[in-house]
């Protein structure tokens, strides 16, 4: 579990840095928000997958959609006004697509 959290933080942090550079936004508040949000949502994902392990793939995909929505909302709230909800949804989607896509092929 710890490995997957560190992996997620690394990949999604890289996406946040890229977004910050492209959007000309300060990286600090967005990285902090991403860290806090990831710790929270990864915990939810782990719990969900443990509770519904017999339906692993369905649980994974449903949880990822819910995590995207939760992260979007929390990123917007925790970013100190640096993100509107639309940008938070886009950033969260890119973060999650990156970590999910890469993580799918790793033996973590």
Q: Is 105 helix (H, G, I), strand (E, B) or coil?
A: coil
Chain mean position to CA 42: 8
- Structure token pair of residue 42: 């990864």
Q: Which pLDDT does position 2 carry in this prediction?
A: 83
Q: Which pLDDT does position 108 carry in this prediction?
A: 65
Enter the pTM of the model.
0.88
pLDDT in tens, the chain (108 residues): 788 889 999 999 999 999 999 999 999 999 999 999 999 999 999 999 999 989 999 999 999 999 999 999 999 999 888 899 999 999 999 999 999 999 888 876
By CB atoms closer than 10 A (0-12, 13-18, 19+), residue 58 is: exposed
Per domain, the residue ranges of the chain are 2-102
> DSSP states of 31-93 as a string?
HHHHHHHHHHHHHHHHHHHHHTGGGHHHHHHHHHHHHHHHHHHHHHHHTTTS--HHHHHHHHH
Q: Are 37 and 75 in contact (CB under 8 A)?
A: yes
């Amino acid at each position: 579990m710890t490995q997957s959290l560190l992996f997620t933080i690394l990949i999604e942090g890289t996406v946040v840095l890229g977004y910050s550079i492209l959007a000309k936004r300060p990286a600090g508040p967005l990285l902090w928000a991403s860290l806090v949000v990831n710790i929270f949502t990864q915990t939810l994902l782990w719990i969900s997958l443990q509770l519904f392990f017999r339906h692993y793939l369905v649980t994974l995909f449903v949880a990822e959609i819910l995590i995207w929505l939760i992260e979007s909302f929390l990123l917007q709230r925790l970013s100190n006004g640096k993100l509107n909800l639309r940008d938070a949804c886009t950033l969260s989607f890119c973060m999650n697509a990156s970590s999910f896509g890469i993580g799918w092929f790793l033996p973590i």
